[in-house]
């Protein structure tokens, strides 16, 4: 159960970090400065040039989405762990009840 808790906490913590992360805009692996434009090439065609501000907004949006995905994954891990613990507890209680009932007969 400790492993599940650590994984869940890691996912949720990393997700929160991503939703709040801000960084310099990057184009082609290079940090952009204000006033520069980033042109992406997809399938041999040039895309619409983006300013450094537009690129930063685009990257922040993607990072924000991935942050929420990690938070959701962490919550799912927590819920799965709780369901597993509840089921295991019920099985143990049923086994004890059978053992106590069988010992008296």
Question: What is the Cα–Cα distance from 80 to 3, expressed in whole angstroms?
Answer: 13
37-81 pLDDT, tens digit each: 998 888 888 888 999 999 988 888 889 999 999 999 999 999 999
Kindly report the backbone phi and psi dihedral angles of residue 38, in degrees, each rounded to the nearest multiple of 5, phi listed first.
Answer: -110, 125
DSSP-derived 3-state class of residue 45? strand
CA atoms within 13 A on the CB side of 31: 3
Band of residue 29 on the pLDDT scale cut at 50, 70, 90: confident
More confident residue, 28 or 105: 28
Domain ranges of the chain: 2-103
Average pLDDT along the chain: 90
């Amino acid at each position: 159960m400790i492993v599940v808790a650590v994984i869940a906490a890691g996912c949720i913590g990393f997700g929160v970090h991503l939703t709040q992360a801000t960084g310099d805009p990057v184009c082609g692996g290079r940090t952009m400065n204000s006033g520069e434009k980033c042109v992406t090439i997809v399938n041999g065609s040039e895309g619409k040039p983006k300013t450094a501000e537009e690129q930063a907004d685009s990257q922040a949006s993607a990072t924000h989405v991935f942050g929420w995905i990690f938070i959701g994954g962490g919550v799912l891990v927590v819920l799965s762990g709780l369901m597993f613990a509840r089921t295991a507890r019920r099985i143990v209680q049923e086994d004890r009840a059978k053992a106590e009932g069988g010992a008296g007969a």
